[in-house]
Amino acid sequence: MWTRRKAETRRGRRRIGISLSLSLKTLHRVGWSRPNLLAITLAGAGCAVAIPPPRFAPETPAEAETAWATVLERFVDDRGAIDFPGLAKDSADLDRYVAALAREDPQSRPEAFPSRQDALAFYLNAYNALAMYGVLRSGIPPELGSIKVRFFYRNRFELGGRKISLYSLENRIVRPMGDPRVHFALNCMVRGCPRLPREPFRGPQLDAELDRAAREFFAEERNVRVDPPRRRVFFSEILSFYTKDFLAKAPSLAAYANLYRSEPIPEDWSVEFLPYDWTLNARERPGPQ
């Protein structure tokens, strides 16, 4: 008995060590310096913060999607910036959508999402809406860089009847679906993210929507800067965070980018990364006249 308990204890410690190692690697990829990772991770362990959904009467999936579409149309501009103060004053549609997310998802009600594309579109919309809701619940902070652990890892939202963090939604549900183009659709509401579209993702059109998002991403100078005299290219740090995902589809980052660029990047150029901007992507409001 003692021997078995000792072996179980060793296995438990090994699982904790593996989990901690994975967490440290992930946090490092999204911008934390390694000397602070252990302290940050240990401080966040066991400190999950439940973010309750708003209370709304059940709606049909079509009604919920319409509410999310209204949010994007009213509060997101053509550049993808968000009017957070305006949304905070009139959040009924966002609240309705978040309440609907809490009730069902492709895992809790698979018959409502007949195709993989339907499920993926749902999760992309859910991530973006929950990130937006999280910003409001966090008091509309000017940036997320200083609250990454709480915002992405500790805050737990309700999705399909279970609690989940933005970190888990992205890394345990969305990324395993195997389409790296999701990194041009997921939006945590900061300036370093891809442009937030003004309409929801929809299953039947998702492949075309993701292609369009990828082409737009690689066409923007803030995401790709070429330096021909020095034979180098600067990519958004998104390509550094998720290099493994992109290299599953192409032999190099330049080769992957070239799938969506009109002007190819020579694949023998050196690659560097642009610093990620964690400033909230808030729409600039006009000052007093």
pLDDT tens for 259-268 read 999 999 999 9
Domain boundaries, the chain: 50-212, 217-274
Task: Look at residue 82 and tell me whether its pLDDT is greater than 70.
Answer: yes
Q: Is the pTM of this model over 0.75?
A: yes
Strand partners, 271: 233
CA 166/CA 170 separation, integer angstroms: 6
Mean pLDDT of 206-224: 98
- Distance between CA 97 and CA 148 in Å, rounded? 24
Work out the average pLDDT over 227-250: 98
Q: Return the beta strands (E) in the chain as ranges.
A: 49-50, 155-159, 162-164, 224-227, 232-236, 270-274
pLDDT band at 57 (very low <50, low <70, confident <90, very high): confident
Q: Please report, as a single letter, which amino acid is at residue 185.
A: A
Mean predicted lDDT score pLDDT of the chain: 87
Whole-number pLDDT of residue 286: 53
Task: Return the pLDDT at 248.
Answer: 98
Length of the chain: 289
Q: Residues 93-113: what's their mean pLDDT?
A: 96
**CA dist., res. 159 & res. 136, Å (int):** 18
Does position 194 have pLDDT exceeding 90, yes or no?
yes
Statement: residue 145 has pLDDT above 60: yes
Residue 25 pLDDT > 60, yes or no? Answer: no
Higher pLDDT, 17 or 196: 196
Quickly list H helices, 30-109: 34-44, 61-75, 84-89, 92-103
pLDDT at 40 > cutoff 70: no
From 260, 186, 171, 270, select the one nearest 219 (Cα to Cα): 260
Q: Residue 139 contacts by C-beta under 8 Å, 6 or more apart in sequence?
A: none
